[in-house]
Amino acid sequence: METIIKKTQRTGPVIFSEYTRGKAVRKAIEIGRNDILFELKDSGLKGRGGAGFPTATKWMLSAAANGEKKYIVCNADEGEPGTFKDRVLLLEYPELIFDGMVIAGFTIGAKEGIVYLRGEYEYMLKSLEDYLEEMRKDNLLGKNILGKDGFDFDITIRLGSGAYVCGEETALIESLEGNRGEPRNRPPYPVNTGFMGYPTVVNNVETLAVVPHIVLKGGGWFKQHGTDKSTGSKLFSVSGDCARPGVYELPWGIKISELLFIVRAENTKAVQIGGASGVCIPKSQFDRAFAYEDIATGGSIMIFNESRNMLKVLKNFMEFFVEESCGQCTPCRIGNLKLLEGVNKIESGDFTFGYINTLKELGKTMQVASKCGLGQSSPNPFISILENFKEEIFNSKNRNGGSNGKAR
């Protein structure tokens, strides 16, 4: 079983490396906006929330956008099933996240930062707010930060209310504005038209937490970790059938099999990478790597051993999406329901392969026709599990219905 790991025990090449509060902010003020953006671009940092959008580009776009006000939003909604790395950062490394936000504010010219904190993390609210108060005392927040004239920035924390889709950045902004958490149309993008219509940078907790290290040690140092196209390291939230679940900082490019070894997973049949909306990888592909150029991920790793029923796993994911779709757009709202119905039909044996293929086609439509990432990625497990585990699933002996499953 997992032993509780303390901050002092965590080690890692980038995020979990040494850092003292305020250090990177001081350096940021010294080197100025352009150099920060230069280092960030040089580092090749991509968003750690899942979508992998280059962070430097996002910051440059919002720095260039005109608006009387600008906002930095830290996406701490951490709703993807199997993800809990942001929780560790929020609990143990608030200095990294908040300094990252201050640097972001300094770089794009924002004076306000908002942390959108997952409703279930309410228990952290008090300590995070106390932490912000300390930062204010140290002049790391507030007016003329660290003596820099006109550099004003402060952070507020807002609680989410439990919808998975509110982690999607535009739904998050709607939620912040007090509306139903429904994703917006894009374009316009938040970098131009975000919170209250003002240019807004939305970054994941981990993305922001990496920034102080890059500012301090440079993009070149960061690039030394990882692969050419996937620079730096990544936090992985590992759960499921293994002896050592938990949060790991590992360099990009590491192979699935290597990770399974580190976490002591045995008899592994499948790994679901990227949460419910990710892909399910069978044993035959365990030599593939975690990297944007191979299997990109926000860091959720769920391990399934030989005892697991993959159709049940799939069913669980589809039930999640049927419930968590915001319900606004047709392909996602009804499409997920049809995919779930398909899974149920397979389970009861009452299906035709023709219809399952139609549903796979529907899944492909959902990937290109849905309004936001939820509907665009929810068919992933349906398509990948049915494809990668067809032996198990369509071999009627293995189905729930046993040998009387009547596949036609």
Partner 1 sequence: MAKRDSRTPVSQQPHTVEIPDDITTIGGTVTVEINEKKVSVPFGTTILEACKTNQIHIPTLCHHPDLCIAGTCRVCLVDVEGMRTLQTSCSFPITSPIKIKTTTPMVRKARRHIIDLLLSEHYGECYTCVRNNNCELQALAKEYGVDNFTFGHVDKPRFEIDRSSPSVIRDMNKCVLCKRCVRTCIDLQEVGVLEAINRGDKTHIGTFYDKALADVVCINCGQCINRCPTGALHANDPSDDIWAAIDDPTKHVVIQTAPSPRAAIGEEFGQPAGTSYTGELNTALRRIGFDKVFDTNFSADLTIMEEGTELLNRLKAVLVDKDESVKLPQFTSCSPGWIKYIEHFYPEYLDHLSTAKSPQQMFGAVIKTFYAKEADVKPEDIVTVALMPCSAKKFECNRPEMADSGFKDVDYGLTTREMAKMIKEAGIHLPEMPSTNFDDPFGDASGAGLIFGATGGVMEAALRTAYELVTGREVPFKNLKIEPCRGFQGVKQASVKLENCVEDYKFLEGADLKFIVAHGTANAKIVMEMLKRGELNDVHFIEIMACPGGCIGGGGQPIPTSEAIRTARAKAIYEEEESLPIRKSHENTHVKYLYEKFLTDGPCGHLSHKLLHTHYTKRGKFIS
Ligand X SMILES: Cc1cc2nc3c(=O)[nH]c(=O)nc-3n(C[C@H](O)[C@H](O)[C@H](O)COP(=O)(O)O)c2cc1C
The rounded distance, in Å, linking the Cα atoms of 287 and 254 is 9
> Out of partner 1, ligand SF4, ligand X, none, which partner does residue 174 contact, by CB within 5 to 8 A per kind?
partner 1
- Residue pair 115/128 in contact by the 8 Å Cβ criterion: yes
Q: What angle do CA 40, 45, 48 make, to 5 degrees?
A: 135
Q: Say which amino acid occupies 225.
A: H
Size of the site for partner 1 (CB under 8 A): 48
Q: Is 152 exposed, middle or buried (0-12, 13-18, 19+ CB in 10 A)?
A: middle
With CB under 6 A as the contact rule, which of the stretches 28-36, 42-50, 104-112, 256-264 interacts with ligand X? 42-50
Q: Are the beta carbons of 275 and 337 closer than 8 angstroms?
A: no
List alpha helices for 109-185, DSSP H.
125-137, 169-176
The residues, any chain, with a CB within 8 Å of residue 284's CB and separated by 6 or more, are none
Binding mask 372-391 toward partner 1 (x if CB under 8 A, else -) reads ----x---------------
Q: What is the C-alpha to C-alpha distance for residues 341 and 337, in angstroms, rounded to an integer?
A: 6
**Using CB distances below 5 to 8 A depending on partner kind, what does residue 80 bind out of partner 1, ligand SF4, ligand X, none?**
ligand X
Min CB(172)–ligand SF4 separation in Å: 12
Q: Which does 207 bind (CB under 5 to 8 A by kind): ligand X, ligand SF4, partner 1, none?
A: ligand X
Q: Least Å distance between CB 131 and ligand SF4?
A: 33
Phi, psi values for residue 304, rounded to 5° = -120, 130
Report what 167 binds from ligand SF4, ligand X, partner 1, none; CB cut-off 5-8 Å by kind.
ligand X
How do strand 154-159 and strand 112-117 relate by DSSP bridges? parallel
Contact positions toward ligand SF4, by CB under 6 A?
Answer: 165, 183, 325-329, 332-333, 370-372, 374-375
For the segment 146-175, give every residue that binds partner 1 (CB under 8 A). Answer: 163, 165, 170, 173-174
48 binds, among partner 1, ligand X, ligand SF4, none (CB under 5 to 8 A by kind): ligand X
Q: CA 272 to CA 242: how far, in whole Å? A: 13
From the list 280, 249, 375, the residue with the least C-alpha distance to 320 is 375
- Provide, rounded to whole angstroms, the least separation between the CB of residue 52 and ligand X: 7
Which position among 17, 57, 139, 192 is part of the footprint of partner 1 (CB under 8 A)? 192
For residues 39 to 78, the per-residue mask of contacts with partner 1, x marking binding by CB under 8 A and - elsewhere, is ---------------------------xxx----------
